[in-house]
Amino acid sequence: MTRTFFGFAFSASMLPAGEVHMVKRDLDIEEVREALPGWEMCLNPFHKTTVEAARHRFGLPIQIPQTPPCIDLQVGDAVVVMQVTGLPRRTDQLEYSHDEIAQATFVFMEIRLTK
């Protein structure tokens, strides 16, 4: 059974050992909105402002898990990443203001492990 996770980042720590092949494809918001209920959330509770922005801007029913799962991808599994760009680098606080989020650009992509 393949799994799809939804989060804000992709990390090499999600990958199995050895040679890995992946396919990355961009998703439009309609694809995300339709498939999101079947995906496992892997969001960090510290990203509450960004999650709220995605809910408001795109109508995405994103739920933040109390404890994000550890992701151990296998062939066929995927991570859908909501990449947010245009935000200032933060060193002094964890959350962005609503004005900063309003200026950001959101892009969705799927990274799937293949044979």
| Residue spans per domain, the chain | 4-114
The domain made up of 4-114 is a member of CATH 3.40.50.11170: yes
pTM: 0.87
Extract the runs of DSSP E, i.e. beta strands, from the chain: 4-7, 21-27, 40-41, 78-85, 105-114
Which pLDDT does position 60 carry in this prediction? 92
Extract the runs of DSSP E, i.e. beta strands, from 2-72: 4-7, 21-27, 40-41
Instruction: Say how many C-beta atoms besides its own lie within 10 A of residue 89's C-beta.
Output: 4
Q: Which amino acid is at 49?
A: T
Which pLDDT does position 93 carry in this prediction? 67
Which pLDDT does position 14 carry in this prediction? 96
**Secondary structure (3-state) at 38:** helix
Does an H or E element contain 114, and which?
strand 105-114
Instruction: Print pLDDT tens along the chain (115 aa).
Output: 899 999 988 999 999 999 999 999 999 999 999 999 999 999 888 778 788 888 888 999 998 988 888 899 999 999 999 998 888 777 776 677 778 888 889 999 999 999 8
